[in-house]
Structure 1
């Protein structure tokens, strides 16, 4: 049997993948991509939680203090013509503004120090430049001179920047919070089955890998495991988004937190604690939260450029105005106006608001974004490569044909079942089920080992047997007549051969249904002007049959796991950007090699493997949504950056007085109106993001 040909069927091979070192390199590269955003992202989950609450607290307190500043500032007088004055009003205005400057502005001031030390000024430096200049200039005006102060500008700038950072952190933590709540829903105790076959209730944290637990009707699975006795239906909606109860039998994997249905089952624990599915998913979401997207980097570059532009514009403005007017006060006023206006409030919200919206949309549609860069990269994909079994097909195998060369069908099936009984992949289960349905008894096989890319080998009754695929048979016995086997393969069936001491004694054919959504997925890709490719270890005849049914552009068959990765590399060397969609187990080399790796399904192994995105509903059609979401997210980010930068492109020259000769100078009041308008447009634009 070709156990390596079906990516959903090869759990036992995953430790031996020759491409694991590449997997490691890709993960290392991703680690280097991750960095703090303007000095406020930290490496620890606890620190992220702290900053999330910290920004929220600073924002609301600053917002409350901004209200009296509005009524006391000269900006309000200029806008409304109403002046509020009473003894000590100036001191109250100064006190409130000072609290906002040091309390609300502290994250930005410390962030500026980090950026300056790194000699890499960006958003924090730009914000700090504006608030420091506004605070110092306004203080000087208030107590030592006359004119308009900028305390209102100072307060609103800090408010909006705090709001932007809070929104960003809340958005990226939302998915993680939901998953953490799932972990908290696990039962407190488990029913441990002792060696004496007695049932003993023990705390969940005492359960260890390899132990057997009893899960009663309606109870939650206490740990990841494999059913060893009984059959049932399990509700995994909380974990995978799949509302339909999933049938589980002996050999089926179950996930901690899923709800057992109508029958009690015994489960062998395969993972606990940090190794469990929930813990792995929580960790990968946490990792994704700390990663900065390419467009966020672009906004930092824009902020860096604006910092230098503002600094240069401020200095030039001062020099020109002083040279033309010889008025120190007016020259300083113009330069300060430029420096304050140069910091766009909207730029601080441009990316976080879109991130928040795209995070919400992806979660609602069952996309678990493990690597945020992947969400942007998905729009650049030229070709989507699919694994066949369990991705384009259902992965629910049924034994349809038996061909005997020596002995009887029952004898052949008994040997097959003896070898496959130790395996948990779908093909093995289908063979064992067929043997049991015929009421056949079979021996225990000894020394069963996997043969990578071929099948398996073991001893039954002292004789050595091999289960191999078509490719292996043709390589070693090219003259064998395999016409009947080829006919089965031409019908889209998988054929597995049984050898006894290197002599063919028979073979079986196993059918797997093509997913109903697979055809829609391929058609959808073509409408998006993307190509579809199938990578499978199955025979050429089976692959071509499925490829023809679905209308796939490229079909690559009879591939080992490392061959899939090499095939993707080949296409990428031809300047095609490739997304790989597989089950996340034996497809890990290909998932790691592709520009974007997408795991279909949310089994325990998927969470531990190398996918960038996990489709929790196990529907390949969600790939179309991922691509469309990527395009729309990027489009909205770029739109928002232009709206934010557009304010500066217009405001800085006007504030500097470029049109002063014709009597047009941007007043601080009008600058504030333009700033607010830009911010409102950015916020509305982000919320209007929809994916068809």
Structure 2
């Protein structure tokens, strides 16, 4: 590249002049980089590059510890029909010096481009349009038409039906004699061979110039640019058959007498069958994207906002944060919010996969797209537009569907040279048949069959269509893949490591046992809860919650005094209370009851935390508080064992507590007392084939470092951002669903790739005539067209089976 390019990059890691100096020195090491200016205040670097690309600049900055902040643009692209097309678009985009990465999704007809911040989206679209594929940027205001697949299918259906009507007379005229003996001779006797061939020529020309023109308008320009693709093969094959037949019809003396045969029916049938295949493919691709369309359609068009206390129907797009919205029974929640009035249940299964409706009361969150139960509610809007949970889910699914799996790399390398190789084989076939075959006509038929039988369409669809259906099915099951490559890594997993608190357990302590001496359990709980009502300790909150759940009245406590590590003292109804651990009571000179102490120690051995209550200096009760396991945890571990996976627990809790919980759940390896950096080391020791499941801020490093990180959707935003996949509900059994789905997707991809490659490996030699010397048949171009069309339909249809995955 001779022209220099100017870059203006944002580098967030710059915090001082010293940082700026290091960035300058890192950039100066690149030959061809000049005019470097790094501003530590704005954290921007300006430079001129001659022969140096953005990926090289980005690598130098990353190596220096100051990665650049890049931009991402999505493009909608028309006219891509095969892997060769998508490969050409990728190469055109990555050929720009200001682009680091371009990922093209053939199924979604889109591209995700990572580039320098100063690059205009229109320039990127122009780069793609100039190579023959009209493109335009996708922005929040110009989202892709969700009915696009339907429009494409309808256009292809009309083209196919028109082509079919024009082709049938040609096909019957030429092939009718194979079904009814004497029919062909009767036709020639009735019309004459010359007029019959002229009629076939005119009808075939109408097919090629009308519904078949799309192949020529796209295929020949690509061929002239030296970048042939699938349309080029169809245009060459059908065009060669038509031209040869036209010469035989209009100037027969040019062609040797034994080869004076016409193949108008082959040219017309080729176009008709391929149009039929693309129509069926477009319909199937439309079903492949149904999951994401279903998510978008969850949002209603209108909502009932309260304006000056009066209900008013308004478009959902007009809702703003802070608005109050009335939610009628059975109505869908329009946007995210918090309940302000009413009690009821909301069905969140379409987002979380949880079949049981969630109970809602004031201060509880509601999510746009979910369905209200039988009670009227009012909620305050907390997020609208792209900030809602549903919009983020859709964006997450789209990002996963647009990503490229490592297995795609091999496919890309093959498809890059596939079409030129097929064309070379067609020329070789023509030469061999002319040299050793019976005549020119057979040579033309064999070379046309080679051009038509080859199908990079199936190769290009094999991986992305499975990803699209698989990630969409995952969203329906409450499993969101934030990165598509997680599908491939998850399928190879050998072990699953869990955080304990909030992942395998509820995440908050609950009262699990009460033992008393001289008073009832309700009396002990009532007194303890009264004293703890003003405490902020989570164990105290668990005692208060248990008392409230039982409907106990709590008298006011006086002289409440909490000392860290020494318990809490208070006066309730004239009685002096001390609540704390064993050491707190012993320090106060209180003799512990042997029976109560024994019960508390037994609970502690099972992972519970004992809390003792003394009344007027006498040990009167003991409580066991524990973070109970989620009801689904044990079944989840058993299901993972059935899948052949080893289960590990990495907990920040004490080893004794972690051991007690792990034993009950059947976990293979239990490690307690771990800090975040300890968890990180443990994950690295477990290897790249490890899945880590967590929910808290302290889990973020381990989630990022694991082969695959899965965040519990009820956890923190930091954990979710660090993960490769997210379980929308708090149910850990979603891990089992995620692994089963990933294995199903990879099986499906391998089946598709086997079919796509085996099909070509088997049929291209047959089309070349490899069986003819052994008495076998020569493959008809029409049969080749049918097989090629059906190969793509097979691949997409096979991927659609993932919609039934569970």
Identify if the C-alpha distance between structure 1 residues 39 and 527 changes in structure 2 by more than 3 Å, giving closer, same or farther. Answer: closer
Correspondence list, 1:601-616, <5 A: 601=713, 605=717, 609-616=721-728
Q: Name stretches of at least 5 consecutive residues in structure 2 with no aligned partner.
A: 1-64, 75-99, 113-137, 188-195, 249-260, 516-526, 559-563, 566-580, 582-596, 613-621
Structure 1 residue 94: deviation in Å?
A: 1.0
Structure possessing the higher relative contact order (Cα contacts under 8 Å, 6 or more residues apart) = 1
Counterpart for residue 306 of structure 1 = 418
Counterpart for residue 238 of structure 2 = 135
Counterpart for residue 429 of structure 2 = 317
Counterpart CA distance in 2 for 1:213 and 1:529 is 49
Counterpart CA distance in 2 for 1:275 and 1:609 is 15
CA deviation map 1:460-491 (0-9, x unaligned): xxxxxxxxxx9xxxxxxxxxxx9999876542
Counterpart for residue 381 of structure 1 = 493
Q: Name stretches of at least 5 consecutive residues in structure 1 with no aligned partner.
A: 1-20, 421-426, 444-453, 456-469, 471-481, 498-506
Structure 1 residue 546: deviation in Å?
A: 1.2
Structure 1 residue 544: deviation in Å?
A: 1.4
Q: Check the 8 A contact 1:175/1:285 in 2, yes or no.
A: no
Counterpart CA distance in 2 for 1:687 and 1:598 is 25
Q: Check the 8 A contact 1:386/1:580 in 2, yes or no.
A: yes
Counterpart for residue 35 of structure 1 = 104
Counterpart for residue 149 of structure 2 = 52
Counterpart for residue 747 of structure 2 = 635
Q: Given the alignment, which residue of 91, 97, 101 partners 2:212?
A: 101
Structure 1 residue 541: deviation in Å?
A: 2.1
Counterpart CA distance in 1 for 2:216 and 2:463 is 20
Correspondence list, 1:275-286, <5 A: 275-286=387-398
Q: Given the alignment, which residue of 668, 679, 686 partners 1:553?
A: 668
Counterpart for residue 359 of structure 2 = 247
SS in 2 for 1:179: helix
Counterpart for residue 577 of structure 1 = 689
Q: Which segment drifts farther, 609-618 or 347-356?
A: 347-356
Counterpart CA distance in 2 for 1:332 and 1:219 is 65
Counterpart for residue 477 of structure 1 = none
SS in 2 for 1:416: coil
Counterpart for residue 292 of structure 2 = 176
Correspondence list, 1:58-97, <5 A: 58-73=155-170, 77-78=174-175, 81=178, 85=196, 88-97=199-208
Counterpart CA distance in 2 for 1:247 and 1:646 is 54
Counterpart for residue 8 of structure 2 = none
Counterpart CA distance in 1 for 2:470 and 2:776 is 41
Counterpart CA distance in 1 for 2:715 and 2:331 is 19
Counterpart CA distance in 1 for 2:541 and 2:312 is 31
Counterpart CA distance in 2 for 1:143 and 1:683 is 37
Q: Check the 8 A contact 1:579/1:596 in 2, yes or no.
A: yes
Identify if the C-alpha distance between structure 1 residues 661 and 250 changes in structure 2 by more than 3 Å, giving closer, same or farther. Answer: closer
Structure 1 residue 105: deviation in Å?
A: 6.8
Structure 1 residue 549: deviation in Å?
A: 1.0
Q: Check the 8 A contact 2:693/2:711 in 1, yes or no.
A: yes
Q: Given the alignment, which residue of 488, 493, 518 partners 2:633?
A: 518
SS in 2 for 1:514: coil
Counterpart for residue 341 of structure 1 = 453
Q: Given the alignment, which residue of 483, 502, 507 partners 1:371?
A: 483
Counterpart for residue 155 of structure 1 = 272
Q: Given the alignment, which residue of 492, 515, 536 partners 2:607?
A: 492
Counterpart for residue 537 of structure 1 = 652
Counterpart CA distance in 1 for 2:623 and 2:380 is 30
Correspondence list, 1:119-134, <5 A: 125-134=228-237
Structure 1 residue 409: deviation in Å?
A: 5.0
Matched, 1:439 2:558: no
Q: Check the 8 A contact 1:72/1:93 in 2, yes or no.
A: no
Q: Check the 8 A contact 1:62/1:104 in 2, yes or no.
A: no
Q: Check the 8 A contact 1:354/1:636 in 2, yes or no.
A: yes
Identify if the C-alpha distance between structure 1 residues 441 and 140 changes in structure 2 by more than 3 Å, giving closer, same or farther. Answer: farther
TM-score with structure 1 length normalisation?
Answer: 0.71
Counterpart CA distance in 2 for 1:391 and 1:47 is 37
Matched, 1:164 2:281: yes
Structure 1 residue 666: deviation in Å?
A: 1.9
Identify if the C-alpha distance between structure 1 residues 361 and 272 changes in structure 2 by more than 3 Å, giving closer, same or farther. Answer: closer
Q: Which segment drifts farther, 341-350 or 125-134?
A: 341-350
Matched, 1:144 2:247: yes
Counterpart for residue 416 of structure 1 = 535
Identify if the C-alpha distance between structure 1 residues 583 and 519 changes in structure 2 by more than 3 Å, giving closer, same or farther. Answer: same
Q: Check the 8 A contact 2:284/2:796 in 1, yes or no.
A: no
SS in 1 for 2:262: coil
Of the two, which has the highest radius of gyration? 2
Q: Check the 8 A contact 1:56/1:163 in 2, yes or no.
A: yes
CA deviation map 1:141-182 (0-9, x unaligned): 23223432433123322432454355335413x222112122
Correspondence list, 1:173-212, <5 A: 174-184=290-300, 188-191=303-306, 209=321
Structure 1 residue 238: deviation in Å?
A: 4.2
Q: Check the 8 A contact 2:367/2:389 in 1, yes or no.
A: yes
Q: Check the 8 A contact 1:138/1:151 in 2, yes or no.
A: no
Counterpart CA distance in 2 for 1:217 and 1:166 is 36
Matched positions, count: 602
Counterpart CA distance in 2 for 1:432 and 1:26 is 51
Counterpart CA distance in 2 for 1:179 and 1:225 is 18
Matched, 1:624 2:755: no
CA deviation map 1:645-673 (0-9, x unaligned): 22322222232233443444523155456
SS in 1 for 2:554: coil
Root-mean-square deviation over aligned CA pairs: 5.0
Q: Check the 8 A contact 2:497/2:693 in 1, yes or no.
A: yes
Q: Check the 8 A contact 2:467/2:484 in 1, yes or no.
A: no
Counterpart CA distance in 2 for 1:57 and 1:601 is 39
Identify if the C-alpha distance between structure 1 residues 87 and 66 changes in structure 2 by more than 3 Å, giving closer, same or farther. Answer: same
Counterpart CA distance in 1 for 2:463 and 2:396 is 22
Identify if the C-alpha distance between structure 1 residues 439 and 332 changes in structure 2 by more than 3 Å, giving closer, same or farther. Answer: same
